[in-house]
Amino acid sequence: MVWRGSLLVIQALVALTSAAGGFALMFGPSIGSLGITPQPEYLEGSPFDSYLLPGLILLVVVGGTHLVAWLLLLRRQRWADAASAVAGCGILVWIFVQMVVIPFSVLQAVYFGIGLLELVLVLLLQGILDPPRAARPAR
């Protein structure tokens, strides 16, 4: 089914990019940020004094939930749709909090849209957004 395949691709993408982003946040300052790590000034007024904990949250919570959801969906496990919904909500929360703490970035809008798309795909997989089909006349 196209919805399942699309969701698998999105989950893999988010899991991989969350892992890369998490490692960049955690270790970027020590290896030279390569322009990926946000400026330290963005953390002023936040509960964080470095990007270590946000990077760990991005890696484990956002990336980890997407990896688990991907594995469950790939194996057609019972809890795959629920895990996918949790992962989709998780990235929406992550992006929302990020937008409160650091200045707007186009990537924030892209990943927020991806999170919404994940939730729509879960609803489609559940048949919730699938309109009832009109009865076809017998031939």
Q: What is the number of residues in the chain?
A: 139
How confident is the model over 64-79, as pLDDT tens digits? Answer: 999 999 999 999 999 9
**How far is it, in rounded angstroms, from Cα 42 to Cα 84?**
31
Contacts of 62 (CB under 8 A, 6+ apart): 14, 18, 22, 87, 90, 91, 94
Report whether 50 contacts 29 (CB < 8 A).
yes
In the chain, what are the domain boundaries? 2-126
pLDDT at 100: 86
DSSP sequence for 106-118: HHHHHHHHHHHHH
Residue 1 contacts residue 121 (beta carbons within 8 Å)? no
Under the banding of pLDDT at 50, 70 and 90, the label for residue 37 is confident
pTM, entire model? 0.86
The whole-number pLDDT of residue 135 equals 53
Per-residue pLDDT tens over the stretch 60-119: 999 999 999 999 999 999 999 999 999 999 999 999 998 888 888 899 999 999 999 999
